[in-house]
Chain A
Amino acid sequence: MATDTATAPATTETDHDHPAHLEHHFVSTEQQFDSAKLGMWLFLITEILLFAGMFVAYAVYRQWHPEAFLEASVTLDQFLGTVNTIVLLTSSLTVALSIHYIQKDEQSKSFWSLIATLALAGVFLVIKYFEYTAKFEHGIYPGALFDPHGAKYEPLANIPYVAQFFSIYFVMTGIHGVHVVVGMGIIAWIASRVYRGHFGSDYFTHVELTGLYWHLVDIIWIFLYPMLYLV
């Protein structure tokens, strides 16, 4: 019960240093920033619980049919999966750096960090595209169209419940991919605002929130990678 955050009457603020970005219903910039951040964390846990549904489906089917999951997961490209992991981790670093730079008023460095993040996200999606098409070529589709054929996929046709693995694989990586695309849109928008000099060490809420979102996308992938590719 000790979190008494909102009570400061903020007597220091008067008309002349009332910042332009402070909305009328907040007392201080501090309060506005804290609110936005808590709101973002709450949004992030809704994202986590959204993915939780798929983690549950994965856990249940893996526990029921471990052999099928094993046979199916070795057909995924471990090398590309690992490369993609490193790509996303690097993009997390660059977005963290962009916050670091904007806090030090180095707008230009911050901007280029965001652009680097954007590029890495693009690389991730391109690799994902090649992974998907390699699967589609051999009839590995989610759901009813599942019809494996060719090379290493042939034996899968005779193992029950591998279709479930690939359904879960496609749904999980698909929804994750949608989050990457959305993230790219947001990062592009924020990068343009950084470029136009909207943010600085006194006001960088949007950059920080974008970073939080992007790290969450990264964390989801940190779990998807071993679950789908490795074990």
Chain B
Amino acid sequence: MSTDASAAAVHAPEEGAHGEDENYLNHETGLWSWLTTRDHKRIGIMYCLSLAVVFFAAGMLAMAIRAELIAPGQTVMDADTYNQVFTMHGIMMVFLFLVPSIPAILGNFVLPLQIGAKDVAFPRLNLASWYVYMAGAIMTIVALVTGGVDTGWTFYTPYSSSTGGGILWMTAAIFVAGFASIFTGINFIVTIHKMRAPGMTWNRLPLFIWGLYATSIVQVLATPVIGITMLLLILEQSLGIGIFDPALGGDPILFQHFFWFYSHPAVYIMILPAFGILSELIATFSRQRIFGYRAIALSSVAISLLGFMVWGHHMFVSGQSAVSSIIFSLITYLIGIPSGIKVFNWVATMYKGSIWLQTPMLYALSFLFLFTIGGFTGIMVGVLAVDVHLHDTYYVVAHFHYVMMGGSVMALLGGMHYWWPKMTGKMYNETLGKIAVALIFIGFNLTFFTQFILGAQGMPRRYYDYVEKYAPLHELSTYGSWVLGLGLFLVLGYAIHSLYWGKKAPANPWAAATLEWTNVAALPDPHNFLRTPLVTRGPYDFHLADEVFGGGDGVGDGRAATAGTLEAPKPAPSAPEPQESH
């Protein structure tokens, strides 16, 4: 086991021996086999393709918004179109992309692999989730052709309850798509509770699993409320039940309570799994046991529960009572604590680690930088007096893009690169990967940091036109969006390239210590594990892996890896298993 051992760098797991060419992609083929699959990995891939289309469409809308705002006055579209474009950008990104994104793609693919299960607890429900999601997506398209929506993604009454167009279809679409989210949440919670491999105790769960667990709690508790909100809104439009419409004696602020009771926790649906990915990336690429495992795990759960008690911070200037504003503001400060705990723990994990700057790690570092900015500015807009000035300005726009894009999307990209070899069996081009990170990071900051300044100077959000003094920063922001778009297209390009011409991936290219790398073939078997693994150590116990399997100097070291002499942690032993007939 010396470091100068020759070429055969990374060991494939022993189990890989069985049927070298049979894997989850080729054991059955044809469109029908995909549409009727109950394999969590295939469902993850199907979600990945659907979400990629949505992200592309919503991203193009974002480019259109920035193009319109490059100069004052009309540039590429009229004001009514602009209203529809930013509305659709928001709705698609939030409800159809960010909410399902990490759980539905990476959660579906990785969760059973990481806990040593053959599948999620309810595979049929999992497939149903994808179909329900697609139904929601199709209804969104119907909403577009039946007149479009220009209410903004928040659907505030009374405008939304009195305007026509595609609003009925849109609200119905969100009602339907909510069920996809609920199905995923129920499935994950039950899977994590009941399907863990022998030895996989709660304290040995990879932190991505903890992130998904916390996310699922929010999905289950919050999503039904957006369901009833949309239902009441539909009834308000069709029957005029007078709950939200002030003209009929209703209360529009009550609608905001209903809406944000879901939509603030929905922010945690987007960011909690991102936290999970980040823990995986930081630990693996620092070759270090994660610092404060329990603190990170439990702070996710704390955030998911506390996150239900802060929704009113979106309503400081709505006319809600001062008492509730004060309470909501206070709890908003409190929620900074568990988020801060995480950031400090990640930084502490890197300290004295052997940091290996592969593309996924670069995304993780970008996340740390961008999310910290997003988090701090979040506390700022949670301050009652400051919010009066910043409410509904570009400051808020910049803030949530730093959290949603700089946080969730960065983590998603990092996670996609990290698990790409496992999903596709191919390696992406590392050099292009690094160039893309740089473009995305620079482009992102150009686009959105300028918006902090714009907002602080008073530029209101959702405006079609603006005064001359904002012109230079808006122009800069649009240039930034081009750089950002270029970076994302580069990712798309080399991802497709790697599918056809990429290098064949080894089973554990990152020398990670979690089950999906140590005990699963390069391209997973349809049943994941040939034998149920028996877990004997924590997910980031690189030192134990060395000790137990006789590692030497530099084993698991980033530098050794680049020199091509990396020794991956050995697979966990198999659990004694019953003979099962399939």
Please list the residues of chain A having a beta carbon within 8 angstroms of any beta carbon in chain B: 1, 3-15, 18, 24-25, 27, 31, 34-35, 38-39, 42-43, 45-47, 49-54, 56-57, 60-61, 142-145, 160-161, 163-164, 167-168, 170-171, 175
Contact = CB atoms under 8 A, between A and B. Distances in A.
Contacts of A170: 241
A31 B189 CA distance: 14
A46 B578 contact: no
B254 interface: yes
Nearest to A4: B201
A42 B186 contact: yes
B239 A31 contact: no
A17 B543 CA distance: 43
Given A25-B118, A53-B228, A171-B241, A11 B578 contact: yes
Interface in B162-201: 182, 185-187, 189-191, 193-201
Interface residues of B, number: 59
B157 interface: no
B243 A164 contact: yes
17 contacts: A3-B202, A5-B194, A7-B200, A31-B195, A35-B191, A38-B193, A39-B187, A42-B189, A45-B221, A47-B224, A49-B224, A53-B224, A53-B229, A56-B258, A143-B239, A144-B240, A144-B248
A42 B223 CA distance: 12
Contacts of B225: 49-50, 52-53
Interface of B: 117-119, 121-123, 125, 182, 185-187, 189-191, 193-203, 220-225, 227-229, 231-232, 235, 239-243, 248-251, 254, 257-258, 527, 532, 575-582
A164 B191 CA distance: 43
Contacts of A38: 189-190, 193-194
A53 B196 CA distance: 35
Instruction: Return the 4 tightest CB-CB contacts between A and B, nearest first.
Output: A53-B228, A144-B240, A143-B239, A167-B241
B241 A142 contact: yes
A5 to B, nearest CB: 6
A34 B191 CA distance: 11
Given A1-B203, A50-B227, A25 B579 contact: no
B157 to A, nearest CB: 13
A42 B187 CA distance: 9
Given A14-B579, A39-B186, A42-B189, A143 B201 contact: no
Contacts, number: 146
B220 A163 contact: no
A6 B202 CA distance: 11
A14 B581 CA distance: 9
Contacts of B532: 9, 27
Contacts of A35: 121-122, 190-191, 193-195
A175 B250 CA distance: 20
Contacts of A3: 193, 202
A13 B240 contact: no
Given A10-B578, A142-B241, A167-B241, A53 B232 contact: yes
A60 B239 CA distance: 20
Contacts of A51: 228
Contacts of A13: 578
B242 A167 contact: yes
A79 B6 CA distance: 87
A207 B112 CA distance: 28
Nearest to B253: A60
A27 B577 CA distance: 9
A177 to B, nearest CB: 14
Contact of A31 (B122, B194, B221): B194
A79 B45 CA distance: 56
B195 A6 contact: yes
Given A38-B193, A53-B225, A143-B241, 16 more contacts: A6-B196, A9-B198, A10-B578, A13-B578, A27-B578, A35-B121, A35-B194, A42-B189, A46-B182, A49-B224, A51-B228, A61-B243, A143-B242, A161-B249, A163-B249, A167-B242
A171 B232 contact: yes
A25 B251 contact: no
A144 B205 CA distance: 54
A15 B241 CA distance: 60
B122 A39 contact: yes
A60 B118 CA distance: 48
Contacts of A11: 576, 578
A39 B188 CA distance: 10
